[in-house]
Amino acid sequence: MQVKNGSTVSVHYRGTLGDGTEFDNSRVRGEALNFQVGSGQMIRGFNDALVGMSIGQTKSVTLSPAEAYGPRHPEATQVVPRSAFGPDFEFIVGGTIQGNGPNGPFLAKIHEVADSEVTLDMNHPLAGEELNFEIELVAVDDDKSSDAWTPSMKKAQLYQIAKSRGLGVTTKYTKAQLVEALSA
Which domains does the chain show, CATH number per domain?
1-70+128-142 (3.10.50.40), 77-121 (2.40.10.330), 146-184 (no CATH)
How confident is the model at residue 146, as a pLDDT? 46
How confident is the model at residue 144, as a pLDDT? 44
Residues sharing a CB contact under 8 Å with residue 161, sequence separation 6 or more, in sequence order: 147, 149, 153, 182
**Segment of 61-65, 123-127, 141-145 carrying the highest mean pLDDT:** 61-65
* Reported pTM: 0.67
Higher pLDDT, 30 or 144: 30
Average pLDDT for 156-167? 80
The pair phi, psi for residue 3, each rounded to 5°, is -75, 140
Read off the pLDDT of residues 22-35 as tens digits, 9 standing for 90 and up: 999 999 999 999 98
| Residue from 71, 72, 70, 58 nearest 136 by CA | 58
The answer to whether 135 touches 144, Cβ cutoff 8 Å, is no
| Separation between Cα atoms, residue 90 and residue 96, nearest integer Å | 11
pLDDT band at 148; cut points 50, 70, 90:
low
How confident is the model at residue 158, as a pLDDT? 79
